[in-house]
Amino acid sequence: MNPEYLRNFLVVANHMNFTKASQKLFIVQSTLTRQMQSLEQQIGTKLFTKDSSLKLTEAGQLLAAEGEKLLIQMELLEQRVRKVGEMQHLTMVSLPLHLSCFLDIYMSYCKINPQANFTITYREIGEIVPYVECGRADMGLTYSFELEDLESISDEIETTVLKHDHKCVIVNNNHPFAAKGRCSIEELRKENVLYFDNLGYRHVLRDNLHAKLKPVDQSFGLLKNRETLLLQICTGRGIALLPYEEAKMLRADLTIVEIKDFTMELDIILVWKKENRNKLFWLFREYIDRVQRQTDFSDSMDTGANMLAQKGTI
């Protein structure tokens, strides 16, 4: 069974609509349809039935109920098999961040250890720490407030701060803020501020900046996913407050605007398990420590990484 097809099947089963599922997966609908047909052929039974609307067959319902567990088992087995044959591979789960300082560290590390391979998987806030806890990645990259908002965290989890970040405003390119590049708290009070309903939103509710803005319209301003949030901003229906390193990953028709009379700082952290058995991870972890000692990482770790790469030491 193709893991990618199974993962996409679960999205279709969740939405019960091929159009919505294809938009969520960022693939064309015809491709998704062919994948589901291929999955049915691999399994040897129908997963969907379509009368007036799309429905799951009994077999499809069973796969939808057990598919996530099967995916986890497949991924864990794949990781165990791979690690038996190669110990030069690192896995990381990360928020969609434009973290140039981390990439610079990794690139400089690869100059010293060219055999090292690296795989990054992107997930949302609230999913990073659990992903590391269950052993699906060697390390995770997230914001410190994820640790504050999770109901329970294993004592095995350790962290280090990689970079300090801050909140900024995201608007479409036609918004008056876009031309100025800066705005004030007073100007923000007049705007419809949109939020992505996740752990990050819970964090926003506690900060001093949120208290200065208009109350959130629960029926309009609190959105279920990142894609809907970006769509509303692009169509001029509101603005959003996002961490700067996350905002830099967004589409070209959106503009980053700084708040000139307020600063809300955030920490980007690296998380891992104490009992990680991947020797390469600990070598890489030691390298990060050395880079941090070489430079003020609150601004950037680029300088330290370049210095160590030039020395050829680890």
- Which of 192, 210, 191, 190 lies closest to 200 in space, CA to CA? 210
- CATH number for the domain spanning 13: value is 1.10.10.10
If asked whether residues 170 and 293 sit together in one domain, one would say: no
Give the Cα separation of 32 and 21 in Å (integer): 8
- Which of 204, 244, 208 lies closest to 221 in space, CA to CA? 204
Distance, C-alpha 177 to centroid of its chain? 27
Give the Cα separation of 277 and 76 in Å (integer): 14
- Overall average pLDDT of the 162-171 stretch: 91
If asked whether residues 70 and 209 sit together in one domain, one would say: no
If asked whether residues 158 and 282 sit together in one domain, one would say: yes
pLDDT at residue 204 greater than cutoff 60: yes
Q: Which pair of tokens denotes residue 69?
A: 């567990």
If asked whether residues 114 and 256 sit together in one domain, one would say: no
- Overall average pLDDT of the 166-192 stretch: 93
pLDDT of residue 58: 93
If asked whether residues 197 and 112 sit together in one domain, one would say: no
If asked whether residues 69 and 106 sit together in one domain, one would say: no
pLDDT of residue 106: 83
Provide the 8-state DSSP code for 162. Answer: E
- Of the three residues 80, 103, 120, the one that is the final residue of a domain is 80
Domains held by the chain: number: 3
- Overall average pLDDT of the 77-85 stretch: 69
- CATH number for the domain spanning 259: value is 3.40.190.10
If asked whether residues 176 and 158 sit together in one domain, one would say: no
Q: Determine contact, residues 128/137, Cβ cutoff 8 Å.
A: no
Percent of the chain at pLDDT exceeding 70: 83
Summary count for the chain: helices (H), strands (E): 15, 12
The DSSP bridge partners found for residue 169 are 241, 257
If asked whether residues 170 and 260 sit together in one domain, one would say: yes
If asked whether residues 157 and 281 sit together in one domain, one would say: yes
Choice among 42-56, 164-178, 188-202 with the minimum mean pLDDT: 188-202
Please report how many Cα atoms fall inside a 13 Å half-sphere around the Cα of residue 51, on the Cβ side. 3
- Of the three residues 80, 100, 124, the one that is the final residue of a domain is 80
Q: Which pair of tokens denotes residue 74?
A: 């497949």
Higher pLDDT, 87 or 179: 179
Provide the 8-state DSSP code for 221. Answer: T
If asked whether residues 230 and 278 sit together in one domain, one would say: no
Give the Cα separation of 188 and 184 in Å (integer): 6
Q: Determine contact, residues 170/240, Cβ cutoff 8 Å.
A: yes
pLDDT of residue 289: 87
pLDDT of residue 37: 92
Higher pLDDT, 196 or 122: 122
If asked whether residues 52 and 105 sit together in one domain, one would say: no
pLDDT digits (tens, 9 = 90+) for 244-295: 988 888 878 899 999 998 888 889 999 999 988 888 899 899 998 888 777 6
pLDDT at residue 305 greater than cutoff 50: no
- Of the three residues 23, 55, 80, the one that is the final residue of a domain is 80
Give the Cα separation of 196 and 247 in Å (integer): 13
pLDDT at residue 110 greater than cutoff 90: no
pLDDT at residue 232 greater than cutoff 80: yes
Q: Determine contact, residues 59/46, Cβ cutoff 8 Å.
A: yes
Percent of the chain at pLDDT exceeding 90: 36
Residue 306's pLDDT band, with cuts at 50, 70 and 90, is: very low
In angstroms, the Cα distances linking 149 to 127, 152, 203 are 11, 9, 8
If asked whether residues 209 and 279 sit together in one domain, one would say: no
Domain coverage including residue 147: 86-163+270-311
- Overall average pLDDT of the 157-183 stretch: 93
Longest dimension (CA), the chain: 67
- Overall average pLDDT of the 106-131 stretch: 85
